Amino acid sequence: MTQKYRSFTETEMGDGTYVVAEPVSQTDDAVRIEAGWFDTEDDIEGEWEDPIGAIIRNDLTGGMELTEGTGTLSRRQAVENLADATKDGEPLVSGETEAEALIDYFAANDVLELDEKNDDVVLLKDPNEVSGKMVLNWAAAMAACVDKIDETMNRFERAKEKLQKHMENVDANPQRTEELMKEKAQELMALGDGSGFPDRSELSEQAQQKYDILREDFIYYKKLNEAGQENVSTAQQGVDQIANIIQKLEGAREVLDQKQGQVRTRALKERVFPESEVNIAMNMGELVTSLAGVGSIEEEAENMSEDDVESAVTDVLSDAQNIEGALDDTLGDESEAQEGQEGQASEFTV
Average pLDDT of the residues in 231-255: 78
- Residue 103 or residue 229, greater confidence: 103
The yes-or-no verdict on residue 295 having pLDDT over 60 is no
The yes-or-no verdict on residue 186 having pLDDT over 70 is yes
Q: What predicted TM-score, i.e. pTM, was given to this entire model?
A: 0.68
Return the pLDDT at 117: 87
The CA distance from 172 to 174, in Å, is 6
User: 177 with 263: CB under 8 angstroms?
Assistant: no
Average pLDDT of the residues in 15-26: 93
Which amino acid is residue 347, in one-letter code?
A: E
User: From the centroid of its chain, how far is CA 146?
Assistant: 9
Work out the angle at residue 105's Cα, subtended by the Cα atoms of residues 101 and 109, and round it to the nearest 5 degrees.
170
Average pLDDT of the residues in 302-323: 59
271 by DSSP, 3-state: which?
coil
Return the pLDDT at 310: 56
29 by DSSP, 3-state: which?
coil
Grade residue 146 by pLDDT with cuts at 50, 70 and 90: confident
The CA distance from 57 to 59, in Å, is 5
Which amino acid is residue 242, in one-letter code?
A: I
Q: Which of 11-15, 245-249, 299-303 has the highest mean pLDDT?
A: 11-15
Is the dihedral angle over the CA atoms 94, 267, 324, 71 positive or is it negative?
positive
With a CB cutoff of 8 Å and minimum separation 6, the contacts of 163 are 235, 238, 239, 242, 301, 313, 316
Phi and psi torsions of 85, nearest 5°: -75, 145
Lowest mean pLDDT among 68-77, 165-174, 199-208, 306-315: 306-315
With a CB cutoff of 8 Å and minimum separation 6, the contacts of 325 are 290
Average pLDDT of the residues in 141-150: 85
- List residues bridging with 16 in a β-sheet: 13
The CA distance from 240 to 175, in Å, is 25
User: 10 with 35: CB under 8 angstroms?
Assistant: yes
- Residue 162 or residue 23, greater confidence: 23
End-to-end CA distance of the chain: 60
The yes-or-no verdict on residue 303 having pLDDT over 70 is no
Phi and psi torsions of 171, nearest 5°: -95, 10
The CA distance from 202 to 213, in Å, is 17
310 by DSSP, 3-state: which?
helix
94 by DSSP, 3-state: which?
coil
Which of 263, 302, 268, 265 lies closest to 284 in space, CA to CA?
Answer: 263
Side by side, which strands form the sheet with 5-13?
5-13, 16-23, 31-34
Which amino acid is residue 226, in one-letter code?
A: E
Q: What are the CA-CA distances from residue 135 to residues 48, 114, 130, 288 (Å)?
A: 12, 16, 6, 19
- List residues bridging with 22 in a β-sheet: 7
User: 324 with 245: CB under 8 angstroms?
Assistant: yes
